[in-house]
């Protein structure tokens, strides 16, 4: 992952210095932890997350086994790896599923984060991997062309898109869309909602009303990894208001430092469920904390 190239290199350098030593001392641990701390901050990881992470790794590393060990560098890599996995949420978090159809997924996020694209990628994934019959509702009535965009993507992946244009109240669009999906016995409904350039009261009220009506099984927040710590702030804002169930981190293929991936879980308590790594319909992957940690360590 491009996003972590800088971090990987710095972590490898920091830990590499230990490899040249036989046994290490407490001050060697402190030195390597200083470097790891800087590497994480430079990768744009939230400062509080970095602080807690470094504290935990340092105290584990100073524990007797590492200092007594003949392979201290490996021991530290192991600890760093375990703590990275922990910070990202341990296990992959599966998509929630309703006991009876349809499972309702509400997509939320700021304008430009990749919500509409992700809604379609997810529909495509469900169709391809689960043989599902997804149905999408176009309720973003504010961004010019959002509805047409969803219709075009829906056509490409052969998934129906319900819309009533831009002049109908989004809550009403969702109400009618859900009715149609239930009539047609679609098993997943994905609702594309409006975003704005920043979080505001009106947007949150609209999203709350849609949430109340639709009672979604999953509220997936789409955030743009390229925006770094701002993505984490945005995630916190949405979660405070809507109690989201998961996060999709998009644009991890771009020129970003990737700190959001390491911060979101710790800051919001909500798991990253998927990552977007490109513009194509197939560029959506389940987020596995352990795989991500291995890739970060290189």
Which positions lie near ligand GDP, rule CB under 6 A? Answer: 109, 111-117, 143, 146, 195, 222, 250-251, 253-254, 276-279, 283
Nearer of residues 72 and 195 to ligand GDP, judged by Cβ: 195
Nearer of residues 18 and 272 to ligand GDP, judged by Cβ: 272
Nearer of residues 72 and 271 to ligand GDP, judged by Cβ: 271
CB of 113 to ligand GDP, least distance (A): 4
CB 108 within 8 A of CB 206: no
CB of 153 to ligand GDP, least distance (A): 9
* Cα distances (angstroms) measured from residue 96 to each of 35, 99, 103, 222, 242: 39, 10, 8, 16, 16
Nearer of residues 143 and 175 to ligand GDP, judged by Cβ: 143
221 has binding-site annotation: no
- Which residue of the chain is nearest ligand GDP when measured via CB? 276
CB 176 within 8 A of CB 194: no
127 has binding-site annotation: no
Nearer of residues 52 and 253 to ligand GDP, judged by Cβ: 253
CA contacts within 13 A on the Cβ side of 97: 9
115 has binding-site annotation: yes
Nearer of residues 6 and 254 to ligand GDP, judged by Cβ: 254
284-286 and 272-276 beta bridge pairing: antiparallel
CB of 35 to ligand GDP, least distance (A): 31
Cα dihedral 297, 250, 223, 122 sign: negative
CB of 195 to ligand GDP, least distance (A): 5
CB of 196 to ligand GDP, least distance (A): 10
CB of 11 to ligand GDP, least distance (A): 24
Nearer of residues 154 and 276 to ligand GDP, judged by Cβ: 276
CB of 140 to ligand GDP, least distance (A): 7
297 has binding-site annotation: no
What one-character-per-residue DSSP string does 5-23 give? Answer: HHHHHHHHHHHHHHHTSSS
38 has binding-site annotation: no
Q: At which residue do the structure tokens 């961004």 appear?
A: 143
**Strands (E) located in the chain:** 103-109, 134-139, 161-162, 188-193, 218-224, 246-250, 272-276, 284-286
193 has binding-site annotation: yes
- CA–CA separation, 50 vs 47, rounded Å? 5
257 has binding-site annotation: no
Residue from 132, 112, 111 nearest 122 by CA? 132
- Phi/psi zone of residue 208: left (φ > 0), alpha (ψ -120 to 50 degrees), beta? alpha
Phi, psi of 171 (to 5 degrees): -65, -40
194 has binding-site annotation: yes
Residues placed in the known binding site for GTP? 109-116, 192-196, 250-253
Residues placed in the known binding site? 109-116, 192-196, 250-253
């Amino acid at each position: 992952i491009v996003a972590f190239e800088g971090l990987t290199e710095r972590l490898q350098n920091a830990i590499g210095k230990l490899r040249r030593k036989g046994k290490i001392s407490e001050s060697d641990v402190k030195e390597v932890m200083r470097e790891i701390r800087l590497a994480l901050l430079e990768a744009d990881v939230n400062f509080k997350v970095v602080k807690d992470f470094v504290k935990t790794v340092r105290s584990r590393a100073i524990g007797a086994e590492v200092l007594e060990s003949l392979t201290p560098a490996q021991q530290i890599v192991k600890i760093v790896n375990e703590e990275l996995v922990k910070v990202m949420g341990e296990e992959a978090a599966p998509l929630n599923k309703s006991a009876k159809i349809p499972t309702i997924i509400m997509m939320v996020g700021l304008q430009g984060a990749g919500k509409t694209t992700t809604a379609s990628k997810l529909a495509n994934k469900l169709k391809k991997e689960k043989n599902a019959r997804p149905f999408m509702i176009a309720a973003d009535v504010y961004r010019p062309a959002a509805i047409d965009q969803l219709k075009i993507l829906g056509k490409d992946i052969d998934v129906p898109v319900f819309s009533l244009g831009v002049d109908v109240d989004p809550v009403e669009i969702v109400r009618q869309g859900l009715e149609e999906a239930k009539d047609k016995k679609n098993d997943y409904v994905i609702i594309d909602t409006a975003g704005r350039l920043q979080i505001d009261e009106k947007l949150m009220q609209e999203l709350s009303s849609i949430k109340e009506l639709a009672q979604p099984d999953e509220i997936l927040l789409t955030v743009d990894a390229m925006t770094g710590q701002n993505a984490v702030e945005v995630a916190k804002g949405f979660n405070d208001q809507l109690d989201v169930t998961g996060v999709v981190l998009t644009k991890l293929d771009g020129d970003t430092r990737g700190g959001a991936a390491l911060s979101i879980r710790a800051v919001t308590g909500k798991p990253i469920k998927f990552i977007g790594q490109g513009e194509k319909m197939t560029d959506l992957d389940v987020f596995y904390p352990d795989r991500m940690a291995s890739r970060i360590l290189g």
